[in-house]
Amino acid sequence: MAIADTFPRTREEGPVAPVYGLKPEVDGLAELYAWVDEIAALTQPERVHWVDGSRAENDALLREMVAEGKLIKLNPEWRPGSYLARSHPSDVARTEARTFIASEKAIDAGPTNNWAEPAEMRETLQGVFAGSMRGRTMYVVPFSMGPVGGPLSHIGVQVTDSAYAVASIGIMTRVGAGVLREIAAGKHWVKTVHSVGAPLAPGEQDVEWPCNDEKYIVHFPETLEVWSYGSGYGGNAILAKKCFALRIASVIGRDEGWLAEHMLLIRVIDPAGRAYHVAAAFPSACGKTNLAMLRPTIPGWRVETLGDDIAWLRPGEDGRLWAINPEAGFFGVAPGTGESTNVTAVETLWGNTIFTNVALRPDGDVWWEGLTDEPPAELTDWEGKPWTPASGRPAAHPNSRFTVSAAQCPQIAGDWDAPQGVPLDVILFGGRRATNVPLVVEATDWTHGVFLGSTISSERTAAAEGTVGELRRDPFAMLPFCGYNMADYFGHWIEVGQKLRFDRAPRIYQVNWFRKGSDGRFLWPGFGDNARVIDWIIRRIDGEVPAVDSPIGRLPRPQDLDLDGTDVTQADLDELFAVDPVSWLREADLTEEFYAKFDGRIPAALQTELASLRYRLQRA
């Protein structure tokens, strides 16, 4: 089969030739060329387009998608350079049930992952990928996670038959020639292959959102490869994000002594100008982006954004834990993002944004639930159907998204893409818990903090398929994202702690903004007021205030939380910090049940933490 390496023609053939898409002729890329040829021979695209990451190329791709009906150009008067994509109604979230870890041994995937036998899975993938790109363009996208050439950065290449994925990767990562130079210089690169699984017969009309009912999101941890088939949505298609920067990177981190985490990253600056770096792990759609863009309600405090979803953490020679955000953009959940909840995000989205599955206004702008308090009188919903407030269904899909460059965030830190990252002072673990879990609990030491991280549970949200509201264990908010056995991952966390200087390691806290009172009302105002919790944490790490011991960890004294200007009552505070030994012993039983799934592989240090927790609760 002949494959045109250049699109649509070589320069010599005529004036219509673009300056992008051509195969780069760089010494040292033989392995990359051979791999691209191999994937093209398997998937049989009509043409191969090498993505150079240029503005001209991006503009042309977007224009092409608009012409094909795959994107709607928004009214530039309201939203310059911005587009709306509507997915197929069956392809709206990460498909965890179809996400596999194909490690040589099942035990290395562990009980929380779907394991697939690698040789069998390769055979299956060869079957579904055969001819899967027929009639389409195969794009080759070299990308870097972290600044190109940075000491904590890693590179990869994604081949994909989705122009939407190319445009999204262009926002979420650093794409282009610099990465090819790194490959040519011999740096290891991760291979990622993506097809929407919708080949076109000659002359067949394409659809708005090609995808396939059969889906595979497969990771090969031994060879550091990702193969994704059948979905064009988010983490299923932007393979640099969850597949590479979390699942594959967690494996690289295990082997190299660092951590790939589902964490936001911020710099908090106190009224005296002192800066503290905080990383926080929350399950999907639990307010990470809101906390990443916090505007504190306490006077004099400021927050600078460094990242909203992923952080790579590496012990430095100075005994501190250094962190980078490996991404270059935000792929945020739109519903619930509004003037009153996250004005920074709203300002970030002024233009140059790709929206997916939000509603369209008659004036050519977008809308989603929570953007404004009052919905517009009429809209076109995410499925393209007419909508009014009386329709009785959401106008935007609950997992609708925006994709926007981090640099557009008005409170982005000036050094957000510094290659060496920032030294961490604080790590937060959180979840969405209506009961039991206090507003904030301080871990007594690193191992206790790892225990807290390993026991996180949260009510399900719309970010993945499943029943919204159901409680599920989500240790370290990494349940769907850890590329190896989570018991080993807990052990790895303990080992990383041992590489840190005890007085320089970040302090660990568990937080819960979502506790409800006996009357069903949220007890804590959340959002900008979460800075009040961070203020207490910072005073703790500076040794300015004592804390109160409880069976589950250290709690604030009520008088140490700055509540000026809130309407949180003493009764609310009592409920926010109540620790009921009986329900906590039940939580301990659930932890034991969860740990038992790992067949004796849970680190002894964590079993000891569980036993001590029970001991303290029984005596409370």
Within 273-430, where are the H helices? 288-292, 343-348
One of 21, 210, 234, 370 touching ligand OXD (CB under 6 A): 234
Q: Which of 49, 94, 247, 267 binds ligand OXD (CB under 6 A)?
A: 94
Residue among 532, 606, 610, 535 nearest 576 (CA): 532
Residue placing its CB nearer to Mn ion in the complex, 109 or 479 = 479
Interaction between residue 261 and Mn ion (CB under 5 A):
no
235 lies in the site for ligand OXD, by CB under 6 A: yes
CB of 309 to ligand OXD, least distance (A): 5
* Contact call for residue 143 and ligand OXD (CB under 6 A): no
Q: Cα–Cα–Cα angle for 395, 396, 399, nearest 5°?
A: 150
CA distances from 602 to 100, 593, 607 (A): 22, 12, 7
Contact indicator for 393, 359 with CB cutoff of 8 Å? no
Partner that binds at residue 94, options Mn ion, ligand OXD, none, CB closer than 5 to 8 Å by kind? ligand OXD
3-state SS class at 329: strand
Q: Does 91 bind ligand OXD (CB under 6 A)?
A: no
What is the C-alpha radius of gyration for the chain, rounded to an integer number of angstroms? 24
Nearest distance from C-beta of residue 431 to Mn ion, angstroms: 13
- Contact status: 284 vs Mn ion (CB under 5 A): yes
Which residue out of 211, 286, 409, 482 is catalytically annotated? 286
For residue 94, the minimal CB distance to ligand OXD (Å) is 6
CA angle 354, 408, 261 (to 5 degrees): 80
Nearer to Mn ion, 44 or 399 (CB): 399
Of positions 164, 331, 489, 536, contacts ligand OXD by CB under 6 A? 331
Site string for ligand OXD, 428-467 (x = CB under 6 A): -----------------------------------x----
CB of 505 to ligand OXD, least distance (A): 26
In the chain, the N- to C-terminal Cα span, in Å, equals 74
Q: Which of 395, 404, 277 is nearest to 345 (CA)?
A: 404
- Residue 46's CB: how many other CB atoms inside 10 A? 17
Q: Are 258 and 421 in contact (CB under 8 A)?
A: no
Output 61 or 463, the one with its CB closest to ligand OXD: 463
Q: Which does 234 bind (CB under 5 to 8 A by kind): ligand OXD, Mn ion, none?
A: ligand OXD
132 neighbors 211 (Cβ within 8 angstroms):
no
Question: Which residue number places its CB atom closest to ligand OXD?
Answer: 284
**Least distance between ligand OXD and beta carbon 284 (Å):** 3
Q: Which residue has the tokens 């079957």?
A: 127
Question: Contact with Mn ion (CB under 5 A): which of 308, 309, 365, 587?
Answer: 309
467: its two tokens: 């029943």
Binding to ligand OXD by residue 142, rule CB under 6 A? no
Binding residue for ligand OXD, selected from 309, 365, 529, 572, defined by CB under 6 A: 309
Piece in contact with Mn ion (CB under 5 A), picked from 264-272, 307-315, 351-359, 567-575: 307-315
For residues 57 and 309, which CB has a smaller minimum distance to ligand OXD in the complex?
Answer: 309
Q: Of 238 and 450, which has the nearer Cβ to ligand OXD? A: 238
Residue 587: name its binding partner from ligand OXD, Mn ion, none (Cβ under 5 to 8 Å by kind).
Answer: none
Nearest Cα residue to 425 out of 525, 537, 334: 537
Tell the smallest beta-carbon distance from residue 93 to ligand OXD (Å).
Answer: 8
User: Distance (Å, rounded) from C-alpha 138 to C-alpha 161?
Assistant: 5
Q: Pick between residue 371 and residue 464 the one whose CB is nearest to ligand OXD.
A: 464
Sequence-distant contacts of 586-593: CB under 8 A, at least 24 apart? 587/436, 587/455, 588/613, 588/614, 588/617, 590/457, 590/473, 591/455
Smallest CA-to-CA distance from 403 within 172, 560, 195, 570 is with: 172
Q: Which residue is nearest to Mn ion (CB)?
A: 309
For this structure, is 211 an active site residue?
A: no
Going from the C-alpha of 261 to that of each of 14, 402, 482, 571, the distances in angstroms are 49, 21, 9, 36
Residues between 431 and 490 with contacts to Mn ion, criterion CB under 5 A: none
| Torsion angle (degrees, nearest 10) of CA 311, 316, 318, 319 | 70
Identify which range of 32-40, 281-289, 385-393, 444-452 contacts Mn ion by CB under 5 A: 281-289
Pairing mode of beta strands 189-195, 225-229: parallel
Question: What is the nearest approach in angstroms of Mn ion to the Cβ of residue 284?
Answer: 5
Residue ranges in 262-291 that form contacts with ligand OXD under rule CB under 6 A: 284
Which listed range, 10-18, 303-311, 323-331, 447-455, lies at the site for Mn ion (CB under 5 A)? 303-311
Q: Please choose, out of 12-20, 131-139, 308-316, 391-399, the segment that lies near Mn ion by the rule CB under 5 A.
A: 308-316
Closest CA to 102 of 112, 93, 92, 114: 114
Task: With CA atoms as reference, report the closest residue to 357 among 572, 91, 569.
Answer: 91
296 binds, among Mn ion, ligand OXD, none (CB under 5 to 8 A by kind): none
- Near ligand OXD in 460-479, by CB under 6 A: 463
Please state whether beta strands 426-430 and 507-511 pair in parallel, antiparallel, or not at all (unpaired): parallel
3-state class (DSSP) for residue 112: coil
Name the residues that contact Mn ion, by CB under 5 A: 284, 309
Name the residues that contact ligand OXD, by CB under 6 A: 94, 234-235, 284, 309, 331, 463
State the catalytic residues. 286
